[in-house]
Amino acid sequence: AKSKLTKAERQAELEIVAAKVAKCKKCPELASTRTQTVFGVGNPRAKIMFIGEAPGADEDKQGEPFVGRAGKLLDKIIEACQMKRSDIYIANILRCRPPGNRNPSNEEADNCRGFLDAQIEIVDPDYIVCWGSVAAKNLLHSEMPIGKMRGQFYEYGRARVVCTYHPSYLLRNPSAKKNVWEDMIYLFEDMGIDLKA
Ligand code: URA
């Protein structure tokens, strides 16, 4: 566990991994179509880490996860939880944009897994939120639909993991926002924080 490292030490370790990611060519198609890699962003000592699917067009252009439409919605969720984006660490299953935003292949997810695991080990969060089925399926090696994975904690190393709907899904199905809010209440309750108060 990295739990004794200072914030600055964690930041330095993350930068070493990010430099490897920037040069990665393990997935030839992604390496040739990306504008840049999208490593991760946020507090290197975050208590909560968010894991999404993969960069989209906006993220590929800006080099930061969740900066497009889904990201704006994610920001609102973060705000509703009385947090700031900079409190959290945000990463994805993939660090490159799949062409046309197709789903990551299993091979691509496997190729990128060492980077994700390094980020988790360095940040060493107490909680991980998997946003959407691609994140949940790949992190936890589960085949269950996301609706069935909600409402309980899973373990990943030292972290307690919750799974919920992807913000892009919420853009298409706004009625599911109440479910995500329930999931946030569930997560924060475990930390001793009552979001309804
Ligand atoms: N969707 C994701 O899953 N991740 C991003 O970084 C942006 C959109």
Of 3-7, 103-107, 138-142, where does mean pLDDT reach its minimum? Answer: 3-7
Distance 12 CA to ligand 1 centre (A): 24
Helix/strand/coil for 164 = strand
One-letter-per-residue 3-state SS of 105-131? CHHHHHHHHHHHHHHHHHHCCCEEEEE
- The mean pLDDT of 97-113, rounded to a whole number, is 97
Instruction: Please identify, by atom number, the ligand 1 atom nearest to the C-alpha of residue 90.
Output: 6
Residue 118: is it exposed, middle or buried by C-beta count within 10 angstroms (0-12/13-18/19+)? Answer: middle
Distance 36 CA to ligand 1 centre (A): 14
Q: Whose CA is closest to atom 8 on ligand 1?
A: 66
Distance 4 CA to ligand 1 centre (A): 30
Amino acid symbol at 33: T
pLDDT of 8 reads 97
Instruction: Please identify, by atom number, the ligand 1 atom nearest to the C-alpha of residue 93.
Output: 3
pLDDT 10s digits, 168-182:
999 999 999 999 999
pLDDT 10s digits, 14-51:
999 999 999 999 999 999 999 999 999 999 999 999 99
Distance 72 CA to ligand 1 centre (A): 11
ipTM, 2 dp: 0.92
All structural domains of the chain: 7-190 (3.40.470.10)
Q: How confident is the model at residue 2 (pLDDT cuts 50, 70, 90)?
A: low
pLDDT of 136 reads 98
pLDDT of 1 reads 54
What whole-number distance in Å separates Cα of residue 88 and Cα of residue 83?
8
Instruction: Write out residues with Cβ below 6 Å of ligand 1.
Output: 52-56, 59, 65-66, 68, 70-71, 92
State phi, psi for 70 to the nearest 5 degrees.
Answer: -65, -35
State phi, psi for 163 to the nearest 5 degrees.
Answer: -120, 135
Q: Tell me, rounded to whole angstroms, the distance of Cα 3 from its chain centroid.
A: 20
